[in-house]
Amino acid sequence: MRYVSYKTTSGHVTWGVEEGGTLFDLGPSGRQVADTLRDAIVGDLLSATPDYADAPSQAEEGTEFVPVVGGSPKVICIGVNYRSHKEETGRADVEFPTVFSRFSDTLWPHGADVTIPAESEKYDYEGEVALVIGKPAFKVSREDAFDHVAGYAVFNDFSARDWQRHTGQWIPGKNFPESGTFGPYYVPASDIGDIEALEITTRVNGEVRQQATLADLIFDIPAQIEYVTTFTKLEPGDIIVTGTPGGVGLFMDPPTFLQDGDLVEVEVTGLGTLKNRMVKG
C-alpha cells in the first residue's frame, strides 16, 4: 500500500491512498480516518488498511503534493554511511555513525521546485531512504529495532557543500529552506520484503549519478536505531534518514553541482520516484 500527502483540487491539505494513479482521500476532506498521515502513523491506524474504496478521489497527475510525513519533531540524518560514499570521500573507518540533525521546516514535497540558495555555489544532491518511527523508542536493541519502524519513503538530502564545510559540524549546510525533499509515497514496513535489497538510483537530467542497494550500508538500520535511541528518545512520526551512496556531485571529476533547471530524480525499489526541478535563488 502506498500513502500520500497532497492538496485536493479545492486546495485543502489531506492524505490518502494511491492506487493506479488515483488518490483516495482519507483526511479531513474525505473519510476522516485522521487529520494527517503522521497522525495516522502515531495512532497506529494503518496496521489494517483503511477502507478507501468509496472515499473522494482525484487523479494523481496534476496533484500538488506536500511532504509525505510532515510535522515530525525530530529528523535525524546519518552521514557517510554507504561504503561507496566513504570510499569516494577518502574517510577512514569509524566506530560510530556520523549523526546530524535536520529541521522539520526544511522538508519539501515531491514535484515542487527546489531553490538553489543564492548563498551557495556548491549545491548537491543526496538520494536516501528515510524511515519513520512507529512507536516510542528509547535504548532499543538492534534485535528489536525493526519493531519500531512504521514505514519508509524516499528522501533527497540536498546539501550546500560550501556551508557544510564552514566548520566541523554540518548543520548550516543541511538546513537551507526546501532542502529536504520527501515523498512521493509512504510505504508501511509490513509491505517491504528484504530491506537490504532495496536499490537507490539518483538521476540528474536522466544521467545516473548514484546507484546502490541498502546492503552497502556501513551501519544498517538496526545499528542506526540502536545508536540514536541510546542518546535521544524517538516518538512515533520521527524520522531517520539513513545515508547516501557514492556518486554525489562533490566528488565527481571535476566536481559538478546543481544548476538552474536541473531535474533530480531519486528512485527506490517499491517506494516510488521523488522528482524535483532546481531553480536559481
| Residue % of the chain over a pLDDT of 70 | 100
CATH code of residue 97: 3.90.850.10
Residues 90, 215, single domain; the answer is: yes
Residues 54, 8, single domain; the answer is: yes
The mean pLDDT of the chain is: 97
Owner of C-alpha cell 497522525: 39
The pLDDT-based confidence of 48 (bands split at 50, 70, 90) is very high
Residues 38, 87, single domain; the answer is: no
Residues 6, 134, single domain; the answer is: no
Q: Please report whether residue 65 resides in a domain.
A: no
Q: Say what the pLDDT of residue 100 is.
A: 97
Residues 17, 135, single domain; the answer is: no
Residues 89, 38, single domain; the answer is: no
The span from the CA of 231 to the CA of 101, in Å, is 13
The pLDDT-based confidence of 101 (bands split at 50, 70, 90) is very high
The span from the CA of 186 to the CA of 23, in Å, is 13
Q: Which of 34, 59, 84 is the last residue of a domain?
A: 59
Residues 20, 103, single domain; the answer is: no
Residues 182, 54, single domain; the answer is: no
Residues 113, 25, single domain; the answer is: no
Residues 107, 238, single domain; the answer is: yes
The pLDDT-based confidence of 25 (bands split at 50, 70, 90) is very high
Q: Please report whether residue 67 resides in a domain.
A: no
161-216 pLDDT tens trace: 999 999 999 999 999 999 999 999 999 999 999 999 999 999 999 999 999 999 99
The span from the CA of 4 to the CA of 184, in Å, is 6
CB 133 within 8 A of CB 150: yes
Q: Please report whether residue 50 resides in a domain.
A: yes
80-96 pLDDT tens trace: 999 999 999 998 899 99
Q: Which of 59, 90, 107 is the last residue of a domain?
A: 59
The span from the CA of 61 to the CA of 65, in Å, is 10
Residues 116, 43, single domain; the answer is: no
Query: What is the residue range of 22's domain?
Result: 2-59
Residues 84, 172, single domain; the answer is: yes
Terminal CA-CA length for the chain: 37
Structural domains counted in the chain: 2
The average pLDDT across 134-159 equals 98
Helices (H), 53-128: 83-89
| Collapsed DSSP state (helix, strand, coil) of residue 112 | coil
The span from the CA of 223 to the CA of 269, in Å, is 22
211-267 pLDDT tens trace: 999 999 999 999 999 999 999 999 999 999 999 999 999 999 999 999 999 999 999
Q: Please report whether residue 21 resides in a domain.
A: yes
The span from the CA of 94 to the CA of 274, in Å, is 31
Q: Is 95 exposed, middle or buried (0-12, 13-18, 19+ CB in 10 A)?
A: exposed
113-125 pLDDT tens trace: 999 999 999 999 9
Tell me: cis bond preceding 236? Omega within 30 of 0 counts.
no
Q: Please report whether residue 143 resides in a domain.
A: yes
Using alpha carbons, select from 185, 180, 146 the residue that is nearest to residue 37. 185
Query: Where is 37: in which H helix or E strand?
Result: helix 37-42
